[in-house]
Amino acid sequence: MTKNPLAWGFGLYLATMLAFFIVYYFFANANYWSTTMQVNAFGMTFLYAVAGFASTYWLRRGKYITYPQAFKQCFITLFTGGLLSVLSIFAFLNYADTDARDLLNHQYIQTELDNLDQSYAKLRGEALNQKDQSKVRELEDNYKGAKLARETAMKEDRNYFSFRYMSGIFGGFLLFYLLLSIVIAGFLKNKKRYE
């Protein structure tokens, strides 16, 4: 195996795209959004942690590495895989299959509306038990405003996979890559920086 973090990152990109297309081809149904979120939350987190660890561990084999070397190896691997994946998914959903994008957008907003209704019903019951009419009115005003915003987004056919939104999501991914790289580098370094 290579010690080049770009090669590891490209392998991570291929694994991510494989997972994306498995979900796309086999799970694009009424639960497509929730399946996608579950794969991202659990599967991709595990995949990226394993790839960062393996890349840094492979670099360490047979030689001493410092913390900056371990951090760089891990971060470049994760950054390369993540950037290529986000760009490819953006291009696919916005240019190759806009129906899948529209389905995901619709299911996302519908999930938000369902969660809002459930939260409102629970909080309204608690507010009514306290018999404080100001809290009930405030809750109802907040609920109406939030529901109106989501219904407006649905009518506008807002694209949550536009470059603007995907850039924000990738910013969150960068924070995850940074934290994961710090942990893995701290765990796998086996030489102090100034030894």
* Residues 48, 19 contacting (CB under 8 angstroms): no
Write the single-letter amino acid at 140. E
Residue 193 falls inside a structural domain: no
Least confident among 32-46, 99-113, 130-144:
130-144
Number of residues that this document lists for the chain = 195
pLDDT in tens, 49-76: 999 999 999 988 878 888 999 999 999 9
pLDDT in tens, 145-174: 888 888 888 888 889 999 999 999 999 999
pTM: predicted TM-score of the whole model, two decimal places: 0.86
Neighbours of 67 (CB within 10 A): 16
Instruction: Tell me which residue range forms the domain holding 80.
Output: 5-188
Say if residue 117's pLDDT is above 80.
yes
Residue 194 falls inside a structural domain: no
Q: Residue 36's closest CA among 47, 24, 51?
A: 24
Q: How far apart are CA 85 and CA 12, in angstroms?
A: 9
Q: How far apart are CA 112 and CA 118, in angstroms?
A: 10
Distance of CA 116 to the CA centre of its chain: 21
pLDDT in tens, 92-111: 999 999 999 999 999 999 99
Residue 89 falls inside a structural domain: yes
What's the total number of domains in the chain? 1
Mark 19-54 as b/e (b = at least 16 C-beta within 10 Å).
Answer: bbeebbeeebeeebbebbeebeeeebeebbbebbbb
Q: What are the tokens at 173?
A: 């991914």
Residue 61 falls inside a structural domain: yes
Residue 57 falls inside a structural domain: yes
Model pLDDT, residue 14: 98
Model pLDDT, residue 192: 52
